[in-house]
Chain A
């Protein structure tokens, strides 16, 4: 036999001929042919698998070119590898018969490899011909490695090839050890879920194959010898886990990717068929029913106790359904009660519920272990959810009914139900306790300790049971009396007090002197901005509510001296910084600050070329090239910097793709392009707009210094005819970067402006310097001709105001030009657009802007503040850009927040979108960001969001804004009402309807609850928010209004307070008339019955002191920042 003979038979592409060809070939000849067979397989596979897979990846990559920038996919590396493999295969194919590239060649080549190679190559190349072909080859060849091969296919393709192993075993060709892999092969194979043939890539798509069905029972009926194997299989963990999804879909090598049925689907189908099959076999008495019961349940117990938190619903139902379907008699069930009991110790609520149901059904048995069950039940109440807890209480009730002597121990277990998070469970437990009439000192003490955790609605009932008879027992009161027993009744105020003032407890004295002393050390401006006097006055008077802080952001320092951005000082710092960013490019999003630091580093250090430059940067070049995607600006700028020439036409590529995205995002890439060009020419450049501090801020004094340097080196920034003349003649390189100028102006911090202006006055009067002076507050300036620069100056000068002088010169350029943007809530549907195969999200806009956009929509690129209002949203909008956008105009974030409003409102159910949107909400964590109306709107929508990341971030932002005094409770309450009643928030119909409603009272109520727990001050503010919300027309109240009422009742009781506004009281009275029964009615009655209590004053002081501490801390911080920022720029002698 020669390789030519092999080529000849394989070229026929006939499976039969190929198998027959090997029938009489000796093992020695087979081995000689193995390399050629492997070559056939390699080349044909490359053509039909890798090539099509590569096309698939390339198409995907093309479609998601932009998204790939930061989505963390490692597709580029995969693509590079595939390209190389395909090229190699094409090269090899030239020296082989032409049939090698045909699709059928893969199977015949696989057969050839199987018939010639050793087990190592078969495993390495993953050679698995179709089952029937495998059988013929193995039966004919009977290689020494048969057992190893069977073990291998049992792991790799058990569903399709286990039958081959079984047939070989039954025919006595091979003796097989029944390993876990073999048994799991049986588990997956017998149900007959066999994909035939394994799917292939074709034209970039997966070819779906047929699924051949079979049944477990039929397999057993056909081969009764399998029954012994069945018991082995049922005792095998791996098999059982596969069938019951205990492990979930595996990943990695054994995931069976690329087949038309996933492992997950396979196990799901197989599990179901096994269940039905086993039942049928029991019914037909082919297998021992009792043996099956006694085998299955202990496995279930073990699985749940071993991995008590990871059992899936499917796993549970597989076992429980099978167990229930076996219809156990009472005595059979009772024999298993120990197993049911053990299941109470696991943490899967569904399992616990099932075992409780089983135990409940056995309560009547005379030997029922009452004591053990009662002692085991309390852990059940710690699990989330209520079904299992309700069942536990039902079980206790049954126990008491059937075993009356067990009242006390049942009562003790029922008291533990107070640990349940469910109000309903607590209520049921209290009802049971009342019925039991079992009470002693120990039980009372136990219940007393539970009182703080009992829902406020039922606390009264619990207190009655204890015997303390209170309507407002608070957590504090109980905390202080943890050891109290029945005879030491807690002193309680009467539920209705006619003279509450007389009964006020005396709160502990607060050292106001110390507070006054600290306040006096502060500058008046900060003392006033933090509204410290208001809190101090409230502490010494009878004021109930505090106003929120109101500041514009211009009146406080914004430069945090501890958050100054590092400057890359030398080549090594540049190398290590860039290396860090590039290594993490996939799956990592650099922050806006990191991007700016790199840009600045490239710009300043790009011209440096020490003698060992190549050696130092060699590793970095390797890293940059291995990142491997030509559109990445950071990678390309790095390569350009190191090699000195523009890499891979990236500038041209950028130029093409620019303007197809949102222009605001283009700014970042344009800046890389500009810097890249300089770097390629080994020129250094000074960027005006590099932030000096975190948040995108530029210290104005440093900006003036940069302008001074530019004026000295760049004729574009020099005043004077001669300089400009030289520049025009090209004798000097003078050019302005308008975009950089605009960004620099927009990022000017309010700190040190006077000092900066005094220094700027001495600079040459170029247009930029004039605009800079105007931005810094100089009135004696004539507005210049470049609209973008002057609009940026106007925004920097007065971020929240309109600039009539600039408007007069550069009229009608849209929102946030010379005139500040105004927003109105209107609902407009927007049709999706397609940009470079990217579809913008189907969405609506919630806001309309004023002034309107100019008629000519082709806005200048440099008008970034106006461009902020033209954003197109992509589903995978890069976090990279969102983060950067908040640094464009750090002084006025309304445009950024407005974008956040529209993105949060357009929730599309995609989790990744929610994660990106948190970037908007997280900006509210900054205590110095003013809480404007648009910020409040975004927060309110976030609190109502379905997406958990958005929702959680919004709650955190709510806590933060209350903590630092920025949240105005009245405004938030009004906003809730406005959004709930606004018709502007209702989609008119069509596709938008599926997302409606955009707001949800339920989610609001659920969001307010955790915020109220943060401190007594938070509780007060949330109380005010709810009271503001509960006003107006009671007939339009939300169906979930009881959730707000629950929180309000809890807050009022904890603070010994009552409803203080007539509007709310009237609303509740009216609502109480409409809903006099049920939960809402009951809550309203409880709330309206509340009066101010003796601990009110103490709670009020506690809250005010908390607020005062926070406000004082921030006023002191402002003072510290101001002093340090000023000191940083004073002449050394003065400092």
Chain B
């Protein structure tokens, strides 16, 4: 599936770092979201050099392809990061061009001294001159920060709108939202001190692999960690570990680093700073973007009642942490329904997931997310198979369905049980457990689902 959506950033001015008297001022231009050019924050960066490095790293990830198959290289231009103002913190999020790396910086109240004048999510312009200027910020400098600008100022100021046109592939958008589903499954595995983190990153091999298929495990070593080719009883799998190098510059600020792992090869890294944090989530392999992981396909294949979803959505008010338990009590629904609703909202770009809090937070990606939900190629193809009458169920009991589904030149055997679904197609053979069901299994599930009939 190579669908894409033309997206034009229209910034009222170009983000810039300008010199004002003895200090500097960073003005970040915004575009999209609830307002056309929202205005979120006015204040200053408390630790200017460090904050600049955090922002530069997020920006770097948004511009990097850690893996470049030719087709994608031709297609994707870098998208700008998005910022969410929740009333007490600013969160900058970005997703790599290759769709396999997600990054987020949280600047908490002590890191940004100022006033939150608005709430919401928007794109933020990170143009090359501004990035180049950020490199030169000194620790001792006083740097003001504006996210957006008020209307009066805009009307008075620049007249020329800065436009950037990019083609955002659907897979990029899907990846951006599917990463929430993975994060919610991650568990903290290791926590090391800043000193040990610096040691760990210092011992990473010079030519650390970013190629497809390169795997390493993070395992304990003394008080710290090391990379190992062997899975240990307590280890975190890192696909294409070369991607970790983007953190090298940041660990020098780290108080501690927490490593998260899961069963599906996704790993998370959280860098703790005094008043900020940096999150990095890596896909299982360089060639595997989050978009193709199919974590929510089976859920989407089944018809479900949207009442709970609507109720949960109505309660979102840019919270930094959505407490599922209290929400369940307030809405008088069970906690699992709230969790499921939040997961679904995650796939629509309406909530993000905060690893540190183990909870969702409200933000609304400033893109047209309808296409994302519509363009699940496997699901679309499964529905097409059903419509074309290509599914032949030969046996159906309460615990098992056996069927044949038309494939290319062959009819695939499909057996769906409560615990496992199997198919003779190539996708299912190659990804039996970890990347969602194939279109043939989904087709059988759709046809066998009593809700659909």
Query: Contact string, B236-250, partner A, CB cutoff 8 A, digits 1/0?
Result: 000000000100110
Kindly identify, within residues 910 to 953 of chain A, every residue whose CB is under 8 Å from any CB belonging to chain B: 918, 922, 925, 952-953
Query: Contact string, B183-203, partner A, CB cutoff 8 A, digits 1/0?
Result: 000000000010100110011
Kindly identify, within residues 399 to 423 of chain B, every residue whose CB is under 8 Å from any CB belonging to chain A: 404, 407, 409-413, 415, 422-423
Q: Is B132 an interface residue (CB 8 A)?
A: yes
The one of B230, B245, B422 in contact with A956, judged by C-beta atoms closer than 8 angstroms, is B230
* B404 surroundings in chain A (CB, below 8 A): 615
- Would you call A384 and B195 a contact (CB within 8 A)? no
* B248 surroundings in chain A (CB, below 8 A): 347, 382
With A419-B198, A956-B229, A1014-B222 in contact, is A579–B136 under 8 Å at CB?
Answer: no
Nearest A residue to B233, CB-CB? A1113
* A575 surroundings in chain B (CB, below 8 A): 413, 424
Complex: A956 Cα to B136 Cα, angstroms = 42
* A572 surroundings in chain B (CB, below 8 A): 413, 415, 422
Q: Is A289 an interface residue (CB 8 A)?
A: no
- Would you call A619 and B424 a contact (CB within 8 A)? yes
- Would you call A579 and B429 a contact (CB within 8 A)? yes
Complex: A615 Cα to B424 Cα, angstroms = 12
Complex: A371 Cα to B136 Cα, angstroms = 10
- Would you call A301 and B132 a contact (CB within 8 A)? yes
With A579-B429, A580-B432, A583-B426 in contact, is A382–B70 under 8 Å at CB?
Answer: no
The one of A452, A622, A925, A959 in contact with B410, judged by C-beta atoms closer than 8 angstroms, is A622
With A252-B70, A623-B424 in contact, is A1014–B226 under 8 Å at CB?
Answer: yes
* A376 surroundings in chain B (CB, below 8 A): 135-136
Nearest B residue to A587, CB-CB? B213
* B198 surroundings in chain A (CB, below 8 A): 419, 453
Number of interface residues of B (CB under 8 A): 51
With A305-B132, A453-B199 in contact, is A953–B229 under 8 Å at CB?
Answer: yes
* A757 surroundings in chain B (CB, below 8 A): none
Kindly identify, within residues 998 to 1016 of chain A, every residue whose CB is under 8 Å from any CB belonging to chain B: 1010, 1013-1016
Identify the interface centre among B132, B199, B249, B423: most chain A CB within 10 Å of its CB. Answer: B132
Q: Is A435 an interface residue (CB 8 A)?
A: no
- Would you call A307 and B49 a contact (CB within 8 A)? no
- Would you call B430 and A619 a contact (CB within 8 A)? no
Q: Is A250 an interface residue (CB 8 A)?
A: yes
Identify the interface centre among B198, B202, B203, B222: most chain A CB within 10 Å of its CB. Answer: B222
Query: Contact string, B118-133, partner A, CB cutoff 8 A, digits 1/0?
Result: 0000000000100110
The one of A253, A953, A956 in contact with B70, judged by C-beta atoms closer than 8 angstroms, is A253
Q: Is A379 an interface residue (CB 8 A)?
A: yes
Complex: A530 Cα to B221 Cα, angstroms = 23
Q: Is B178 an interface residue (CB 8 A)?
A: no
- Would you call A309 and B245 a contact (CB within 8 A)? yes
The distance from the CB of B19 to the nearest CB of chain A, in whole angstroms, is: 13
Q: Is A169 an interface residue (CB 8 A)?
A: no
The distance from the CB of B427 to the nearest CB of chain A, in whole angstroms, is: 9
With A252-B70, A579-B424, A579-B429 in contact, is A1013–B136 under 8 Å at CB?
Answer: no
Q: Is B305 an interface residue (CB 8 A)?
A: no
Kindly identify, within residues 1056 to 1077 of chain A, every residue whose CB is under 8 Å from any CB belonging to chain B: none
With A575-B424, A620-B424, A1014-B226 in contact, is A250–B70 under 8 Å at CB?
Answer: yes
- Would you call A305 and B128 a contact (CB within 8 A)? yes
* A252 surroundings in chain B (CB, below 8 A): 69-71
- Would you call B136 and A341 a contact (CB within 8 A)? yes
Nearest A residue to B49, CB-CB? A375
How many A-B residue contacts, CB cutoff 8 Å? 126
The one of B222, B229, B230 in contact with A1015, judged by C-beta atoms closer than 8 angstroms, is B222
Complex: A252 Cα to B221 Cα, angstroms = 42
Q: Is B228 an interface residue (CB 8 A)?
A: yes
Q: Is A251 an interface residue (CB 8 A)?
A: yes
Complex: A163 Cα to B117 Cα, angstroms = 59
Q: Is A421 an interface residue (CB 8 A)?
A: yes
Complex: A482 Cα to B70 Cα, angstroms = 49
Q: Is A960 an interface residue (CB 8 A)?
A: yes
Q: Is B364 an interface residue (CB 8 A)?
A: no
Q: Is B47 an interface residue (CB 8 A)?
A: no
With A379-B249, A382-B248, A956-B228 in contact, is A583–B429 under 8 Å at CB?
Answer: yes
Complex: A960 Cα to B221 Cα, angstroms = 12
Q: Is A618 an interface residue (CB 8 A)?
A: yes
* B71 surroundings in chain A (CB, below 8 A): 252
Kindly identify, within residues 209 to 236 of chain B, every residue whose CB is under 8 Å from any CB belonging to chain A: 221-224, 226, 228-230
- Would you call B229 and A342 a contact (CB within 8 A)? no
* B409 surroundings in chain A (CB, below 8 A): 622
Nearest B residue to A345, CB-CB? B135
* B415 surroundings in chain A (CB, below 8 A): 572, 576
Nearest A residue to B245, CB-CB? A309
Q: Is A302 an interface residue (CB 8 A)?
A: yes
Nearest A residue to B407, CB-CB? A619
Q: Is A78 an interface residue (CB 8 A)?
A: no
Nearest B residue to A343, CB-CB? B135
With A479-B195, A579-B424 in contact, is A251–B132 under 8 Å at CB?
Answer: no
Closest 10 CB pairs of A and B: A252-B70, A583-B429, A345-B135, A622-B410, A619-B424, A619-B410, A579-B424, A580-B429, A384-B206, A576-B422
In the complex, 17 of the A-B residue pairs with CB atoms within 8 angstroms, ordered by the A residue number, are A252-B70, A254-B70, A305-B131, A305-B135, A309-B245, A372-B136, A379-B249, A382-B202, A419-B198, A479-B193, A615-B404, A615-B413, A620-B424, A918-B229, A956-B230, A1014-B226, A1015-B222
12 additional A-B pairs beyond A252-B71, A347-B248, beta carbons within 8 Å, are A309-B245, A375-B139, A453-B199, A482-B195, A572-B413, A576-B415, A612-B394, A615-B411, A617-B413, A619-B412, A620-B413, A1015-B222
Task: Report which B residues bind A (CB closer than 8 A).
Answer: 49, 56, 60, 63-64, 69-71, 128, 131-132, 135-136, 138-139, 193, 195, 198-199, 202-203, 206, 221-224, 226, 228-230, 245, 248-249, 252, 394, 404, 407, 409-413, 415, 422-426, 429-430, 432
Task: Report which A residues bind B (CB closer than 8 A).
Answer: 250-254, 301-302, 305-309, 338, 341-342, 344-345, 347, 371-372, 375-376, 378-379, 382, 384-385, 419, 421, 449, 452-453, 479, 482, 572, 575-576, 579-580, 582-584, 612, 615-620, 622-623, 918, 922, 925, 952-953, 956, 959-960, 1010, 1013-1016
